[in-house]
Amino acid sequence: MTPAISLDGITKRFPGVLANDDVDLTVERGTVHALLGENGAGKTTLMNVLYGLYEPTSGRIVVDGTERSFEKPQDAIDAGIGMIHQHFMLVDSMTVAENVTLGTEPRKWGGLAIDRDQARQDVVDLCERFGLAVDPETRISELSVGVQQRTEILKTLYRGTDVLILDEPTAVLTPQEIEELLSVFELLTDQGKTIIFITHKLGEAMQAADEITVLRDGRNVGTVDAEATTREELAELMVGREVLLEVETSSYDPGAVTLSVDDLTVTNEQGIDVVSDVSFTVRRGEVFGIAGVDGNGQSELIEAITGLRRPQAGVIELGDREITDDDRRERIDQGMAHIPADRHERGVVMDFDLVENGLLGSQHAEAFVNNGRIDWKRTREHTETIIEEYDVQPPNPDASASALSGGNQQKFIVGRELARDPQLVVATHPTRGVDIGSTEFIHERLLELRAAGVGVLLVSSKLEEVRGISDRLGVMYEGEFVDTVDPEAVTEEELGLLMAGEQPAQEVSADERE
Amino acid sequence: MRELPSLGRKTLGGVVVLALVGGVLSGFVDKNALSSTLRLSVPIAFAALGGIFAEKSGVINIGLEGHLIISAFVGIYATNLTGNVWIGFAAGVLASTLFAVVFAIVCLEFRADQIIAGLAVWLVALGLAPFLSTVIYESVNAGSAGFDPITIPGLSEIPVLGALFDAKPPVYLMLLAVVGSWYVLNYTAFGRWVHASGENPQALDTAGVSVKRVRYASVLLSGVLAGIGGASLSLSLGEFSGNGQTMVDGRGFIAIVVYLLGNYNPIGTFLSTTLFAGLQTAQIQLQSGYLPSSLVQTIPYITVIIVLAGVGRTRTPDAAGDHYESGEE
Amino acid sequence: MSESDMLARVKERLRAVLRRSAQTSAVERLLISTAALGLAVLVGTVLILVSGRMTTCTTAAATYFGVGFCYDPVTVFDRLFLGALGDPMNPLFRPLHGEFAPPFRKGWSPFNAAMAVTLRETTVLVFTGLSVALAFRAGVFNIGTQGQLVAGALASALGLLVLAPIVPGGAVGAVLLVPAGLCIGAVAGGLYGAIPGVLKAYADANEVITTIMLNFVAAQFALYLVSNHFQRPGSQVVETVPLPDVGTIPSVVFDPRTNFSLLALAIAIGFGGVIYYLLQYTTMGYELRTSGLQPAGAEFGGVKTKRTIIASLTLSGALGGLGGAMYVMMILGNFQTGVPSYGFDGITVAILAGNNPLGVLFAAPLFGIIKSGSIVIDTATSMPPQLVDVLRGLIVLFVAMPEFFRLIGRRAIADEPSVPNGGDEDA
């Protein structure tokens, strides 16, 4: 049987980056094929080439036995290829039916008007055929992420897609939604559709796929049968060396409370409570981790603690001082360092050079400013120290932040924030996009601070990270703390259930440790 | 009517209240006042409708004022040249559309900042119209033939509302354009694409519709509509005056506030237009009263500021103002 | 899903503009500004020729390709640029023909009357240019410099008329009154600028619209105040009585009748340096630039964004107000309605200067020449001086599209294909 997709020697070169290096890939009709690899391995680039978003530098694309060249996504769509991106391509203010039919609306009155009834009927029919439950009349903004994703799938099916590409489809889903998605995969392949999905999670690839292709550094390092492979084999293919994730932690000896959050409630822009009645404390000399699926109120909670968002109710104390009404600057002055989740938006000013970025947050600090006049010489020295200590590449203080890779921006931010001599570090995804060596270095620095009696509040979507270096772990679900657990005692399964909002079993509670 | 496009309930309420206030001020009970309100609405309403299309598609056209100015002048000039008001009118619209073509190319091909490019369109028109007027008529002011009113027998005799049937052609065109724009935006595929292009251009692009084309069409449409407004303004009076800020006198900027207040809905926008036009009508009446005219003339501008501060956070299209290049992520 | 508001939208877009302009090197910016100016002159030439066919005249001013034109672009631009400098060129200096007479015309003095007009316009334009540039750097579009200038001009004129009777005459009076007049202008402009600042910070009102509206309000209010309360008796125009001599800025070197003071120009240049220092070397300037480039980053760094918005518009307004005070105290000697559009020219100056305060010191004289040249055009040719307003718009338009010149530049240098955007995979 002719394979549904056959990529032959695809190379994609960007200025300074070889994203795909002579990649071959064969996907059989009616199967689920996982594209597995670490961040930056070239998975998305490869799929963007297949979808016509990028033109390959060299190589051939063969669809259903016919060689094709795609200049734009529309060409790929015409060839029966559909792609669902990580960020959904949906118009929030339009309904499911409107989104599904966008661009190919059924018309009436000689094309002068959209036939809304027909559009709705089309979507209903499509849902029935593939066993998907979506209400065509609901606005996207009122749907859960899982249903939005299903709408995206409907959208591609409506356009007659045979090959469905999904980019990290599970990143934003709860475990239950992931289950549902995987059963949708089955329904679709039963009807003869072919699915390629991008993931960096081993377990998922093994569970859902028939075949798994592993990419590393832009190269295909092996295609394996999902039934026949093992986790160990896949992990080695992905990383290329033995993975060591155990972090040495010194003895746990917490001191006085440095951050206390009491009954905190935070609302979002729409006035909906996204954090409800959350209470916890962080002590000196401990790492308090917060785990949870992204979007369960973690970012709003952190924004409220760091002074970037005003809470609706509750009390926040830093050391002995109530800081609920303090603004951001006062919190910085009180010794709160913050590694923000969104480094492009907050952590660095992209068009400032590193010297100017080194001053961010310290522009009132006596160390760098005399009577409102900035001491650029001292700021430069400070910046050079950060660059050296954290191995920021390129080591040029005059380079603008936008010229640095994401990982290097992150290292710079971590360096600047930890140099504040803080009593509390609020770290959100501190190692996102950072290579393994630097990840280890950042973890070590956080643990050094812990040993020196600094409190660390850590939020990360990487379970290994929060489990690995936290002393206590709070699990958030829909804006509430489901439980606080001992990260060493809790199993991955128990954590998964907690993250999905299941009420805790009593024995894993970490409170006894205090 | 479940599919009726949502007009923010608060905004709708606000518009109704304000329209009532404006109505009371202008004395809607009077046929003359109503017909004056309608007449004064014309340039603002057309510019605002044009602004809706452009901004909903993601291109903020802050140069509406410039479109009004250039079409007002060219309308007069071409009428004198050809002796036909309608040809003059068409020429005015064409001139404004040409400005829109330049604006669209500059924004969509050369990634110019929309606000600065829009300001440039305004500044060019603000210089060009009086310049051409001086070149041709040796004065910044010029006159020509104008539109004659069309009176529908019988209906025009109705008290007060008779004003709707006793007006110059632009007033009828305006009522048509309001309904037409509302229909296009809410019931046609193009309207839906305009919406998607402004809210999530990538969604539209990946659905196989060219964002650039939709934006070109929308910006050109804004030029056409604003051009109708400008040509109507001058040809209803049969004169162009180019002193200071010209006869357009900020109407293009008021138009922007008007459609923000109308929440990008043509019907709501028309209602808020009548509010401003009503204020102007009232102002004309107040001028004959106690307040000095120079102070009375500030009323519409101050109202704009107050309304803008009151409305505050307006829900604007997510991608408005951003350049979009297909294939970029 | 996300309830984006106008404020965020404008900021977002501004950030994109600022990012682009920050990426361009100073040399590239200079090249783009020069190219934009050149293109504006080119389009202006076409316009002059076309309009020369639209009007009627007894004798053609110029004949090109066998066609007569009523306006000659060469004469127009010669008057515009050289006329504004008082015709410095020696007609015998023709190096291309191998005639090397002294380049400057005999009898030409840099202190001539046309030069004085150029420099006095420059003085006011430095202030308005700085006003727009400063706000822009803070991420705020201040289109209201014109209104702030009117507010400053009116306030300083009225203030001086009130103060004049209670201060002594002579040098002492001048030493007291001139700074007082400038201060009053700055304060009035600053307060008038603070209005849109407060509205933007606390009510999310888009400053582009509010400042434009406030321009109209300022003009009307000035008309009301002067015509109803301070009208100079017997005058045909709406104006106040003349200021006492001690309330005007004394001219230095130049003929007092030229209404230009080198002192005022020196003050203006000084302000260019001060604003540059403020932006580059002070905490306030740092915070201002941070919020202009990346509001979310500024917020992260503890910048009080609302306060920064108000401060930047107030300062911007104060600079506009100072420009107005200069206009009244140096050029007019009283207040008249129908203030020239210095504020709008300030936008052009700022954009041409890439919003750099030092760049403003170079862009302002260029515009001073154009403004002064327009007066020469009016007297020396039959060309309507509104041509200059068209050029102003064209310059803004062309400077706004650097991508166009980059494209041409790339084509000219090599047949280098444009690099695709992307490659930053975030899989």
pLDDT digits (tens, 9 = 90+) for A58-88: 999 999 888 988 888 888 888 999 999 878 8
**In which domain, by residue range, is A262 found?**
245-335+423-514
SS3 state at A262:
strand
Q: Which residues of A touch B329 (CB under 8 A)?
A: 53
Measured distance CA(C241)–CA(C226) in Å, rounded: 10
3-state secondary structure of A158: helix
Please list every residue in chain B whose beta carbon sits closer than 8 Å to the beta carbon of residue C16.
113, 322-323
Asked if C300 lies within 8 A of A364 by C-beta distance, the reply is: no
Q: Is B175 exposed, middle or buried (0-12, 13-18, 19+ CB in 10 A)?
A: middle
Per residue in C41-60, pLDDT (tens digit) is 999 999 999 988 888 787 77
The winner for highest mean pLDDT among A188-192, A340-344, B49-53, B162-166 is B49-53
Number of separate domains in chain A: 3
Task: Give dist(CA B40, CA B229) in Å, integer.
Answer: 10
Contact A28, A223 (CB under 8 A): no
Distance CA A297, CA A304 (A): 11
Q: What are the beta bridge partners of residue C63? A: C68
Cβ <8 Å between A104 and B207: yes
- C119-155 per-position pLDDT tens digit: 999 999 999 999 999 999 999 989 899 999 999 999 9
Q: Are residues A429 and A367 in the same domain?
A: no
**Residues of C with Cβ-Cβ distance to B328 under 8 angstroms:** 421-422
Residues A183 and A272 in one domain: no
DSSP C89: B
The stretch A440-450 carries a mean pLDDT of 88
Q: Write the DSSP symbol of residue A401.
A: G
Chains with 3+ CB–CB pairs under 8 A to A are B, C
Q: What is the mean pLDDT of residues A42-69?
A: 89
Helices (H) and strands (E) in chain C, counts: 15, 4
Nearest CB neighbour to C203, from listed B257, B304, B312: B312
- What chain B holds in terms of domains, given with CATH numbers, is 9-145+178-311 (1.10.3470)
Q: Which of A85-94, A417-426, C227-236 has the highest mean pLDDT?
A: A417-426
The answer to whether B209 contacts A54, with C-beta atoms less than 8 Å apart, is no
A199 and A88 co-located in one domain: yes
Same domain for A274 and A378, yes or no, is: no
Picking from A37, A51, A85, the residue whose alpha carbon sits closest to that of residue A205 is A37
Report the chain C residue with the minimal C-alpha distance to residue B139.
C384
Q: Give chain A positions within 8 Å (CB) of B203.
A: 89-91, 99, 102
**Residues B267 and B174 sit within 8 Å (Cβ to Cβ):** no
Do A314 and A451 sit in the same domain of this protein? yes
Bridge-partner residues for C282, per DSSP?
A373
Same domain, A125 and A193: yes
Answer CATH for C115-367 from 1.10.1060, 1.10.1760, 1.10.3470, 2.60.120: 1.10.3470
CA B18, CA B24: separation in Å to the nearest integer? Answer: 10
Q: Which tens digit of pLDDT belongs to each residue from C323-361?
A: 999 999 999 989 999 898 899 889 889 988 889 999 999
Q: Residue A130 belongs to a domain with what CATH number?
A: 3.40.50.300
Q: Which span out of B87-101, B281-295, C406-420 was modeled with the highest average pLDDT?
A: B87-101
The domain boundary, picked from A186, A207, A239, lies at A239
Q: Best interface-test mutation with C: which of A267, A363, A432 has the largest number of C CBs within 10 A?
A: A363
Residue C33 to residue C18: CA distance in whole angstroms: 16
Last residue of a domain, one of A421, A447, A473: A421
Place of tokens 């259930």: A497
What gap in Å lies between CA B194 and CA B192, rounded to an integer?
5
Question: Which pair of structure tokens corresponds to residue A248?
Answer: 């040495």
> Rounded CA gap, A295 and A274, in Å?
9
Nearest to C89, CA basis, from C75, C98, C78, C97: C78
Q: Which residue does chain A place closest to C420, by CA atoms?
A: A14
Q: Does the model's ipTM exceed the 0.90 cut?
A: no
One domain, residues A328 and A444? yes
Q: Does A106 contact B at CB distance below 8 Å?
A: no
- Is the CB of B205 inside 8 Å of chain A's CB atoms? yes
Contact across the interface for C19 and A168, Cβ inside 8 Å: no
Q: Which among B188, B206, B327 has CB closest to A114?
A: B188
Nearest CA in chain A to C22: A351
**Shortest Cα–Cα distance, B242 to chain C (Å):** 11
Amino acid identity, position B155: L
Residue contact C420–A19, C-beta within 8 A = no
> Is C422–B120 a contact, with Cβ atoms under 8 angstroms apart?
no
CA-to-CA distance for B172 and B232, rounded, in angstroms?
11
| Distance between CA atoms of residues A188 and C73, nearest Å | 71
The residues spanned by each domain of chain C are: 115-367
- Taking CB atoms and an 8 Å cutoff, what residues of chain A touch B192? 94, 98, 102, 105, 114
Nearest C-alpha of chain B: how many angstroms from A84?
Answer: 10
Cβ <8 Å between A198 and C284: no
Contact assignment for B196 to A91 by CB distance below 8 Å: yes
A45 and C425 in contact by Cβ < 8 A? Answer: yes
Partner-chain contact B301 C216, CB within 8 Å: yes
Residues A108 and A250 in one domain: no
Amino acid identity of B35? Answer: S
Q: Which residues contact B244 (CB under 8 A, 6 or more apart)?
A: C219, C338
By Cβ distance, the residue of B192, B196, B207 closest to A114 is B192
Assess whether A309 and A406 both reside in one domain: no
Find the CB nearest C401 among B112, B256, B320.
Answer: B112
Query: Is the pLDDT higher at B40 or at C409?
Result: B40
Positive or negative torsion for Cα A200, A202, A203, A208: positive
Q: Is some CB atom of chain B closer than 8 A to the CB atom of A83?
A: yes
Q: Indicate whether A314 and A365 sit together in one domain.
A: no
Domain boundary, last residue among A198, A222, A239: A239
A95: closest CA of chain B, how far (Å): 11
Task: Render pLDDT for A199-242 as a digit per residue (tens, 0 to 9).
Answer: 877 778 888 899 999 988 888 988 999 888 887 777 777 766 54
* CA A331 centroid distance within chain: 27
In whole angstroms, how far apart are CA C66 and each of B300, C45, C62, C63, C71?
53, 17, 10, 6, 15
How far apart are alpha carbons B21 and B10 in whole angstroms?
16
Residue-averaged pLDDT of chain A: 86
Termini Cα distance of chain B: 38
